[in-house]
């Protein structure tokens, strides 16, 4: 039906405009400063939609209409892609020299043949200096020549009709003018290309360092999108069959290959093979569907003349790409996976901009404004999808980093636990050996020393009033050795490894020792003691320091009272020993200097502090910082 109305329109236009075309004066081409000659007002156009022209001579009998009267010449419908178009125009060269010019017939034509009319009929013009997208012609001096141009269009939605003559010296500038007519659109395109190059470099570097396949597929997606956008920014509106084929066929193929890479990237990025088999099967089906459509479209495009099927398949392919993005959005809304949400948001923007781009492509005229360009919204969709990919990647890397830290922390804790258990086993083995040794000392050595002491006391009683000094020394030595051995046994027994046990032992020893020396002893202990575990070495060091301090008091202080206090400190505990003797003589330290040094050294071995001062006698302070503050 559309073809019928189109044919009726051509017939009516030919009847109304034939006289106007026939009486027009031919354009005059002379060696003046004019570089471009507009032939459209003086060019007749015939569209052979019915296939009436079988040979070039048949065109002379057809009815031409003025090209300027054709409303769709700036955007030729796709259904006319396989139809032959004929231009008919005259050119006059009044100069004495040969006029060499290039004819620009419009955008994206696949075949062009130029003829001129002489007395014998139509003669093919030789294209002496071919230039893609243009036809060269030569007009002899003083000649008024009529030309006929036969051309066919590429299968593209961007074909146009035009008729301009350009001087060879200005041809490059004219091509540059055609490709830069929408400068703002080109700038946006190159900016988008820059973004894609950065994404490409980012993905390649990450793929090289991590060998993760999602970076590889996203890099491929960036490459194909870059090729499309760069071609539109650099070569859009550039005449020639090559560019017509690209914007009519290859850009769609690159788009589909890019989206297949994007789907494959999504599979790897979301790890659907292991996490969601249903979504993974859906992704693989989408890749297969795009591949089948791409092969079918290629077959129809290259091996058939069915333009309508070419158009239908192209439309289906575009809708399929948009549909895939819609599927992403739906899955993202249903799925609670945050990675999927990021891809869904990017796809939502892609869908919105894709609908705008498709709507703009259906318009009969194209705009040079950025906001009126369909490729601009395509670029926005790509940028937003990559932006949300980066957000998703940041989230994924953060989660991976947290998981790695948790794994390392768990591994460290397990190693520390194993080391602690090993140390605990060693400690238990050592403690068991200590307990055995202390038991043996108590049972064997203790019994032996007690026997020696008992026999020495019996010997002293038998000799009566004539004591033997050696027997007295044996008795005293046995007694002292028994006390020391009891202290060693106490320090080696693990059942005594607590603060309250250590304080009780020190209290008992101090009271008994000072009582024998005739010195009153007062011991002050807090009501609630912390549950500290004090190993045998630590308990023994503290006891020996206290023992040395009490020994010095008995020997040198002349005191009658001693106060022993366990005090709570802001960060630990202190044990003070205060006597009411004559005090500490700093000038006469040599008498017990080694003892003080040993006391200080013993405290420093386990991180404690030792101090001695004069304060109404002698004050000795032992301090140990502790982590447990619950009793303070």
- Of 164, 119, 167, 127, which is closest to residue 146 (Cα–Cα)? 119
Find the range with the poorest average confidence among 16-25, 35-44, 427-436.
16-25
| Residue whose entry in the numeric block shows the structure tokens 């781009």 | 357
Phi, psi of 622 (to 5 degrees): -110, 130
**Residue 6 CB-density burial (10 A; 0-12 exposed, 13-18 middle, 19+ buried):** middle
Distance of alpha carbon 263 from alpha carbon 253, whole angstroms: 15
Q: Assess whether pLDDT exceeds 50 at residue 470.
A: yes
- pLDDT: is 26 or 24 the higher one? 26
pLDDT band, residue 587 (cuts 50/70/90): low
Q: Which of 116-125, 499-508, 591-600 has the lowest mean pLDDT?
A: 591-600
Q: What is the pLDDT of residue 189?
A: 86
The beta strands (E) that lie in 140-218 are given as 144-153, 164-166
- Cross-strand partners of 65: 45
Q: What percent of the chain has pLDDT over 70?
A: 81
Tokens found for residue 403:
């998981």
The β-bridge partners of 144 are: 92
Q: Given a cut of 50, is residue 19 above it in pLDDT?
A: no
Is it true that domain 2-179 has CATH number 1.10.460.10? no
Give the span between the Cα atoms of 301 and 154, in whole angstroms: 10
Give the strand pairing for 164-166 and 520-524.
unpaired
At 287-315, the pLDDT tens digits run 999 899 999 989 988 888 778 888 888 88
Helix, strand, coil share of the chain (percent; to 5) = 60, 15, 25
Residue 563 or residue 487, greater confidence:
563
Given the candidates 3.30.565.10, 3.10.50.40, 3.40.140.10, 3.90.180.10, the CATH classification of the domain at 497-632 is: 3.30.565.10
CB-based burial label for 192 (10 Å; 0-12, 13-18, 19+): buried
* Per-residue DSSP letter, 53: -
The pLDDT of residue 629 is 42
**Confidence band (pLDDT; 50, 70, 90) for 571?**
confident
């Amino acid at each position: 039906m559309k073809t019928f109305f189109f044919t009726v329109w051509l017939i009516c236009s030919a009847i109304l405009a034939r006289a106007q075309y026939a009486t027009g004066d031919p354009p005059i081409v002379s060696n003046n400063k004019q570089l471009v000659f507009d032939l459209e007002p003086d060019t007749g156009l015939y569209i052979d939609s019915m296939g009436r022209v079988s040979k070039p001579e048949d065109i002379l009998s057809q009815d031409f209409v003025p090209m300027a009267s054709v409303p769709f010449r700036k955007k030729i419908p796709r259904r006319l892609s396989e139809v032959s178009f004929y231009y008919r125009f005259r050119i006059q060269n009044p100069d004495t020299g040969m006029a060499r010019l290039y004819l620009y017939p419009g955008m994206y034509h696949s075949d062009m043949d130029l003829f001129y009319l002489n007395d014998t009929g139509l003669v093919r013009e030789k294209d002496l200096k071919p230039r893609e997208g243009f036809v060269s012609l030569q007009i002899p001096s003083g000649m008024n020549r009529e030309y006929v141009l036969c051309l066919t269009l590429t299968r593209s939605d961007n074909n146009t009709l035009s008729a301009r003559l350009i001087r060879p010296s200005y041809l490059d500038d004219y091509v540059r003018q055609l490709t830069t007519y929408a400068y703002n659109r080109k700038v946006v395109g190159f900016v988008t290309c820059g973004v894609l190059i950065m994404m490409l470099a980012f993905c390649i570097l990450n793929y090289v360092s991590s060998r993760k396949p999602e970076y590889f597929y996203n890099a491929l997606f960036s490459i194909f999108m870059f090729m499309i956008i760069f071609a539109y920014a650099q070569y859009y509106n550039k005449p020639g069959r090559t560019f017509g084929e690209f914007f009519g066929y290859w850009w769609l193929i690159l788009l589909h290959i890019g989206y297949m890479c994007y789907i494959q990237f999504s599979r790897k990025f979301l790890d659907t093979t292991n996490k969601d088999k249903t979504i993974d099967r859906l992704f693989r089906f989408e890749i297969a569907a795009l591949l089948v459509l791409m092969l079918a479209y290629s077959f129809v495009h290259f091996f058939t003349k069915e333009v309508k099927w070419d158009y239908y398949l192209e439309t289906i392919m575009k809708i399929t790409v948009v549909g895939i993005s819609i599927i992403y959005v739906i899955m993202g809304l249903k799925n609670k996976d945050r990675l999927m949400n990021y891809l869904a948001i990017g796809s939502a923007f892609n869908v919105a901009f894709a609908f705008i781009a498709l709507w703009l492509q259906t318009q009969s005229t194209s705009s040079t404004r950025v906001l009126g360009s369909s490729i601009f919204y395509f670029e926005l969709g790509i940028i937003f999808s990559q932006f949300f990919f980066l957000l998703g990647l940041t989230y994924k890397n953060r989660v991976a980093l947290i998981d790695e830290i948790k794994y390392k922390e768990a591994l460290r804790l397990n190693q520390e636990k194993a080391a602690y258990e090993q140390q605990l086993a060693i400690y238990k083995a050592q403690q068991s050996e200590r307990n055995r040794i202390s038991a043996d000392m108590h049972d064997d050595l203790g019994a032996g020393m007690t026997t020696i002491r008992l026999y020495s006391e019996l010997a002293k009683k038998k000799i009566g009033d004539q004591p033997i000094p050696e027997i007295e020394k044996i008795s005293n030595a046995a007694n002292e050795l028994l006390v020391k051995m009891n202290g060693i046994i106490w320090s080696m027994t693990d059942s005594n490894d607590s603060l309250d046990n250590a304080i009780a032992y020190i209290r008992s020893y101090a009271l008994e020792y000072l009582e024998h020396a005739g010195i009153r002893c007062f011991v002050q202990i807090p009501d609630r003691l912390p549950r500290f575990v004090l190993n045998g070495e630590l308990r023994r060091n503290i006891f020996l320091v206290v023992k040395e301090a009490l020994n010095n008091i008995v020997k040198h202080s002349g005191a009658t009272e001693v106060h022993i206090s366990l005090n709570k400190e802001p960060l630990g505990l202190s044990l003070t020993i205060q006597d009411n003797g004559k005090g500490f003589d700093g000038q006469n330290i040599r008498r017990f200097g080694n003892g003080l040094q040993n006391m200080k050294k013993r405290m420093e071995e386990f991180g404690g502090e030792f101090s001695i001062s004069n304060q109404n006698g002698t004050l000795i302070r032992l301090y140990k910082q502790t982590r447990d503050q619950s009793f303070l």
